[in-house]
Structure 1
């Protein structure tokens, strides 16, 4: 490869590093889900009334979370463990939660492999296809696919479980988050990582593309000479 093509391949190294940073931030931060909390009071006619002075907020990631509730005497902050436990199927599905983490880890792994082979292809020209430019397509595609599955798992988790009341230990006091849930920025970091790997694939394609030169058929050379008549 010439210098320009090697430079384009090396550019994907920075893309993979950026994607790794996004996924690592998504895993370590506590904003995969956010919700506003309100406290409802049942009136004598069985209707609900929201207490204006009782407000709160809750957010959590894949492992830890924090809830802040105000019952009229100031905000009280309570950190909590966000991992699903037995007997809490209404909070989160364990399979979807584990699938989200597994796919995110695999996405990071293939992004690391893609970054490593981007450096190798910049410095030298590997003989094997899987370690060369075709391999860069594979690593970035796998990273993007696992990130996509991670996003799908959490989206299913969100709509199946987290759109209900997640304040399990406070619902007896009228606290609820139902209807106030949104995806947090930690979730969107993984979405951005998908587009980064797609951009890497496009950079590899346009940076290393070599149009095939069609060989023109040469006309047979005519032999000059006299025609012998018999």
Structure 2
């Protein structure tokens, strides 16, 4: 592998490092979901109406969350642990964490073998250039599955009211939930790995050289008589 090709492979090391930072941040931050909150009360004739001066905001990640509610006397901040059994579908929650962790692991492996392929030329295919396709491809797949799991979770369980413990006091987020930036970090990581695959292809592609068939030598020939 020449210097140019090694340089292109080494670029994917930085791509994998960027993807590692993105997925690690997504795993640890508290912004997989964000929502504004309002407080509903019964007005005249028992007609529900939004309580004035009552505002709120909630956001949470895969493990921790934060809510700030204001009933007109100042905002009160509460930190909480995400209890998946009560708040969302437990299977989808676990699947999101598992696929995100696997995507992070594949990014680490991809970065490691990018360095190895830059310094040496491995003999085994799985540790060489084909392996770089494999690790980045698996990272893309796992991150994509993570995104799908959370999107299904969001649309099936998190678009009603995530303030389940404050619902008795009239607090609701229904219709105001959106994907937080932690979710979009994983989406960006997918594109990073796809870009890595494209760089590997461009940097290591070698067009096949067609073998020229030599014309067979003729056994006979013109005999010149002198």
Which category describes the TM-score, using the shorter chain as reference length?
A: over 0.9
State the match for 1:70 in structure 2.
70
Q: How many residues of Structure 1 are paired with residues of Structure 2 in the alignment? A: 224
State the match for 2:42 in structure 1.
42
Structure 2 counterparts to residues 82-101 of structure 1, below 5 A: 82-85=82-85, 88=86, 91-101=87-97
Structure 2 counterparts to residues 142-181 of structure 1, below 5 A: 142-181=138-177
> C-alpha separation between the residues in 2 aligned to 1:117 and 1:206?
18
> C-alpha separation between the residues in 1 aligned to 2:159 and 2:46?
24
What CA deviation, in whole Å up to 9, does each residue of 1:152-171 have, x standing for no partner? Answer: 11111101111010111111
Structure 2 residue runs of 5 or longer lacking an equivalent are none
> C-alpha separation between the residues in 1 aligned to 2:124 and 2:104?
23
> How far off its partner does 1:219 sit?
2.5
SS at match of 2:34: strand
**Does residue 225 of structure 1 match 2:209?**
no
> How far off its partner does 1:211 sit?
0.2
Structure 1 residue runs of 5 or longer lacking an equivalent are none
> C-alpha separation between the residues in 2 aligned to 1:18 and 1:54?
41
**Does residue 198 of structure 1 match 2:194?**
yes
> How far off its partner does 1:44 sit?
4.0
> C-alpha separation between the residues in 2 aligned to 1:80 and 1:95?
21
What CA deviation, in whole Å up to 9, does each residue of 1:196-219 have, x standing for no partner? Answer: 000000000010000001122222
Report if the CA contact (8 A) 1:140-1:201 is conserved: yes
> C-alpha separation between the residues in 1 aligned to 2:105 and 2:157?
29
Structure 2 counterparts to residues 11-50 of structure 1, below 5 A: 11-50=11-50
State the match for 2:178 in structure 1.
182
Structure 2 counterparts to residues 119-158 of structure 1, below 5 A: 119-158=115-154
TM-score of the pair, normalised by structure 2: 0.95
SS at match of 1:45: helix
SS at match of 1:9: helix
